[in-house]
Amino acid sequence: MTLLEGVELDKSDVETYGEEMALELAGVRSSLKKLRSFPALKEREEKGLVSLHGLHFDIAEGKLIGLQPDTGRFVPVVEEGAEA
C-alpha cells in the first residue's frame, strides 16, 4: 500500500504542469479528501466553521497555486493588485 494508492493523475494537470507535479497535485487532492472523511471536520466545514484549501508551492519557481473548489483546477495564487 502506498500513500497515493488508487489516486489517478488529472490529465489536465499532466498537460499543464507535467507528470511529476501532477502527482504532487494528486497528493493535495487526496489529502483534502482524507481530511473530509473525518466526521467532526466534515461537519464543521459544512457549517462554515472551518475552510479547507489545497495549495502547492513550487520552490524552484517560487510560485504558489491553489485548488479552486468550483472548478477543481489549480490556478496561480496572486496577491490582489499584483501581477502574475
Indicate if the pLDDT at residue 1 is higher than 50. no
CA 43/CA 57 separation, integer angstroms: 28
Quickly tell me which residue has 489529502 as its cell.
31
CA 57/CA 78 separation, integer angstroms: 12
Query: How many domains does the chain divide into?
Result: 1
Q: Confirm whether 82 is domain-assigned.
A: no
Q: Confirm whether 1 is domain-assigned.
A: no
More confident residue, 81 or 77: 77
For residues 5 and 37, is the Cβ–Cβ distance under 8 A?
Answer: no
How buried is 39 (Cβ within 10 angstroms: 0-12 exposed, 13-18 middle, 19+ buried)? exposed
Q: How does pLDDT run across 27-37, given as a tens digit for each residue?
A: 999 999 999 99
Indicate if the pLDDT at residue 3 is higher than 90. no
Q: Confirm whether 2 is domain-assigned.
A: no
- Tell me which residue of 19, 16, 31 sits closest to 65, measured CA to CA: 16
Q: Confirm whether 58 is domain-assigned.
A: yes
CA 3/CA 68 separation, integer angstroms: 23
